[in-house]
Chains A and B, each alone.
Chain A
């Protein structure tokens, strides 16, 4: 069975600093990979996804992620944090069966 691990349940960064959120998956075959963002009491919004092709994926709001098959990772980065980036972030995987498996989530706080 596949699983998704997000390292760090809470991350605190200064405004303007690098945001790095880590995601690793366990699977013998490469999955489809997703990052979602959730603001309090709202649904999830897709930031970016990897299905096939280029392993560096750019998403909305300045975020990007790189699929590294050898490391079974899909870490999310943003070069310069903004106050509006404070939210909870979820990594998810699927294997083309249209079911998503989610990590436990990482809450990002941004310090002024």
Chain B
């Protein structure tokens, strides 16, 4: 089955630690996205990549970093510079004018 996988589903981090969220897709899509979801605020775009080895900042990129070394993979690193990282993170890819979403990772900073 084609789709997007995110791991882990739940992640706990101590303050001051970097953490990497995984996103893998087997849909053969060129473009991939990372969103952050907070209650009452909808989804906000963190980073996106339209092709391998290239990516652009979204609306709230500060404190985050990404890489796109393979078409299938678009990992997101939440760095210690992100002041309020506790949130639900969603990865997506696009095909046929439609974005397909992964199941999400819930990050909690302790």
Contact = CB atoms under 8 A, between A and B. Distances in A.
B98 interface: yes
B102 A98 contact: no
Contacts of A98: 31, 48, 50, 94
Interface stretch (A12-20, A37-45, A76-84): A37-45
B90 A49 contact: no
B42 interface: yes
Query: Size class of A's contact patch?
Result: 20 to 34
A104 B104 contact: no
B42 A90 contact: yes
B3 to A, nearest CB: 10
Contacts of A34: 98-99
Contacts, number: 54
B42 A46 contact: no
Interface string A22-66: 000000000010101000011111100101000000000000000
Interface of B: 4, 6, 9, 31, 33, 40-45, 48, 50, 58, 88, 90, 92, 94, 97-104, 106
A49 B98 CA distance: 8
Given A90-B43, A98-B48, A103-B42, 17 more contacts: A32-B97, A41-B9, A41-B104, A43-B4, A43-B102, A44-B90, A44-B101, A46-B98, A46-B99, A46-B100, A49-B97, A49-B98, A98-B31, A98-B94, A99-B48, A104-B40, A105-B42
A101 to B, nearest CB: 8
A23 B48 CA distance: 25
